Amino acid sequence: MPKRAKKNEEASAEAEAETETKKGKKAKEPEAPVLYEDPPDKLTSKDGQAANMKITSWNVDGLRAWVKKKGLDWVREEAPDVLCLQETKCAEKALPADITSMPEYPHKYWAGSEDKEGYSGVAMLCKTEPLKVTYGI
């Protein structure tokens, strides 16, 4: 066998040995911890009673545009008991009639920027009256 062929054989054998060693090391490393898992859908409480409240939160990025994009159709279809909206960008006095005339949500609470009209803002619409509502931080 020529010297070159012998060197190539030795080099490939060394490379295979290194690969096996590397693979062996990787297999021994512990797996990374799971950072997030979807929570299971719980249809019953701990004592076995049926789930009875649906709460939805949505960053609407502008309430008037969200209404035009049929956001209320989704709300009516899902029928959450509590609907929380962020970034409404709408003062309480300038709310769309579609929102103010929703009989399924008789309890409506709004908070927005007092300095800039049409900036930020949050809303909470509820089917049942909350025990307590606090404004401000």
Query: Which residues are annotated as part of the binding site?
Result: 59, 87
Query: Which residues are annotated as part of the binding site for Mg(2+)?
Result: 59, 87
Contact of 105 with 125, CB cutoff 8 Å: yes
